[in-house]
């Protein structure tokens, strides 16, 4: 198939799946996704090599460009040292792009700010439907920003492309009717609330520290706050200004493990109950916003869960051993972190194990409050 036929086939598939609203179909049928991708891309399509070069595999490269797959376009903030450890820029999965645009509910006449230009493809879709003069897009990485600007012009679109700190928004053209982030957040920046008109909408991925990210759709009030529900699960790269790098284990432990920890036992297997369940992770994350975990494998598929608080005061370990009915716990510090995680999980279980769409978020000057079903029912905080 030609690129045009592949583009049309992708749009049809998204429409048939219920992901692409009719009003966005013309943009998906017109904007060439492949024009926004670099020569070398990476994606997971099963047994195939994740790396694909257009110059070496042109047919596969074009097929991937119009597949419903996320495509990595940069590693390690562009560091050119021959290693690849962390993806830092990408072209989002087309299904997710379409569904987030549906959540955004932008209409002709709306002024839109996009945070995270990336390849420029999403900005082109916005410009196609709303007009380039109504779209501004901010990208922190100068190389990524320049490449996106070139791709946009080459495809015939000219939204305002700004290289800058997306956490600050872009006050030059505020207020906006819509703000859309294609990078994930720990907290909604105050600048976004201030730059959105009352009644306007902010759509963004949220990635709590503990895990289980989701898309939130917030409506801004006239008093500097915004509230709304999570709409679906998500996995996006975190806004650079909100990345969190945990402290070394040595900063928590007074010497070798088990240090001064106290031993106990639990019947809740963290691997089975939390590790494989994104809604469970999400509920624990909302309940424990300052706790994170790491996992180390041992033996026959066993895992040690390490829990830490961001204040670097407490830690815990839990050994998840297949086939066991109880699991060893070690806890140290003023907080019993495993007890808190288990209490968070049991709260979620008692509520009927709600999915993402039953949770919501209110963001304002006083901070962020997660809630279940309504703002009047805040998620209980542990710790």
Count of CB atoms situated within 10 Å of the CB of 55: 8
Tokens of residue 118, six digits:
């990336």
pLDDT of 227 strictly over 90: yes
What is the length of the chain?
Answer: 383
Q: Specify the DSSP class assigned to residue 352.
A: T
| Average pLDDT of the residues in 38-42 | 96
pLDDT score for 311:
95
| Average pLDDT of the residues in 362-374 | 92
| Average pLDDT of the residues in 171-193 | 95
> Is 236 within a domain?
no
pLDDT score for 184:
93
> Is 110 within a domain?
yes
- The least confident of 17-26, 69-78, 370-379 is 69-78
Considering the domain architecture, whether residues 83 and 173 belong to the same structural domain is answered as yes
Percent of the chain with pLDDT over 70: 99
pLDDT tens-digit readout, 320-340: 999 899 999 999 999 999 999
Q: Is 227 helix (H, G, I), strand (E, B) or coil?
A: strand
Cα distance between residue 222 and residue 110, in whole Å: 18
pLDDT of 247 strictly over 90: no
CB contact set of 111 (below 8 Å; sequence gap of 6+): 134, 136, 173, 175, 176, 177, 178
Give the model's confidence band at 235: pLDDT under 50 very low, under 70 low, under 90 confident, else very high. Answer: confident
Among 19, 67, 90, 92, which one carries the catalytic annotation? 92
pLDDT of 383 strictly over 80: no
pLDDT tens-digit readout, 255-291: 888 989 999 999 999 999 999 899 999 999 999 999 9
Q: Which domain holds residue 128?
A: 3-182
pLDDT score for 125:
98
Can you give 181-206 as a three-state secondary structure string?
ECCEECCCCHHHHHHEEEEEEEEEEE
Cα distance between residue 122 and residue 360, in whole Å: 25
Instruction: Please give the tally of structural domains in the chain.
Output: 2
Residue 207 is among the residues annotated as catalytic for this protein: no
Count of CB atoms situated within 10 Å of the CB of 383: 17
Phi/psi for 88 (5° steps) reads: -130, 0
> Is 242 within a domain?
no
CATH of the domain at 8: 3.40.50.150
Angle between helices 121-130 and 142-155 (to 10 degrees): 40
N-to-C CA span, the chain: 57
Count of CB atoms situated within 10 Å of the CB of 272: 11
CATH of the domain at 339: 3.30.160.690
Considering the domain architecture, whether residues 125 and 37 belong to the same structural domain is answered as yes
pLDDT of 111 strictly over 90: yes
> Is 202 within a domain?
no
> Is 38 within a domain?
yes
* More confident site: 251 or 154: 154
């Amino acid at each position: 198939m030609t690129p045009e036929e592949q583009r049309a086939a992708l749009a049809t598939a998204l429409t048939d799946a219920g992901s692409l609203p009719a009003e966005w179909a013309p943009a998906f049928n017109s904007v060439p996704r492949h024009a926004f991708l670099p020569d070398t891309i990476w994606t997971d399509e099963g047994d195939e090599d994740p790396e694909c070069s257009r110059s070496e595999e042109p047919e596969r490269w074009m097929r991937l460009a119009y597949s419903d797959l996320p495509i990595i376009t940069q590693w390690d903030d562009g560091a050119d040292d021959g290693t690849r450890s962390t993806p830092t820029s990408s072209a989002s999965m087309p299904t997710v792009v379409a569904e987030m645009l549906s959540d955004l509910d932008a209409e002709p006449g709306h002024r839109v700010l996009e945070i995270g230009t990336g390849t420029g493809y999403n900005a082109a879709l916005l410009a196609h439907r709303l007009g380039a003069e109504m779209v501004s897009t901010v990208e922190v990485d100068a190389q990524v920003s320049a490449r996106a600007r070139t791709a946009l012009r080459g495809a015939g679109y000219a939204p305002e492309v700004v290289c800058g700190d997306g956490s600050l928004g872009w006050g030059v053209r505020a207020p906006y009717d819509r703000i859309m982030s294609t990078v994930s957040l720990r907290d909604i920046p105050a600048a976004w609330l201030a730059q959105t008109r009352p009644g306007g909408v902010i759509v963004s991925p949220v990635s709590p520290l503990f895990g289980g990210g989701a898309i939130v759709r917030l409506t801004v009030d006239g008093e500097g706050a915004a509230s709304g529900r999570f709409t679906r699960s998500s996995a996006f790269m975190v806004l650079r200004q909100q990345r969190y790098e945990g402290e070394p284990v040595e900063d928590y432990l007074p010497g070798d493990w088990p240090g001064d920890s106290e031993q106990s036992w639990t019947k809740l297997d963290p691997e089975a109950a939390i590790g494989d369940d994104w809604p469970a992770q999400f509920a624990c994350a909302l309940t424990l916003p300052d706790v994170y975990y790491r996992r180390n494998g041992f033996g026959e598929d066993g895992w040690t869960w390490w829990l830490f608080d961001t204040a670097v005061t407490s830690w815990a370990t839990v050994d998840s051993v297949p086939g066991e009915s109880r699991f060893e716990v070690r806890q140290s510090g003023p907080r019993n972190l495993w007890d808190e995680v288990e209490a968070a999980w049991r709260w979620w279980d008692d509520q009927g194990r709600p999915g993402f769409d039953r949770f919501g978020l209110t963001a304002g000057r006083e901070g962020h409050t997660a809630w279940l079903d309504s703002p009047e029912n805040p998620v209980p905080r542990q710790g």
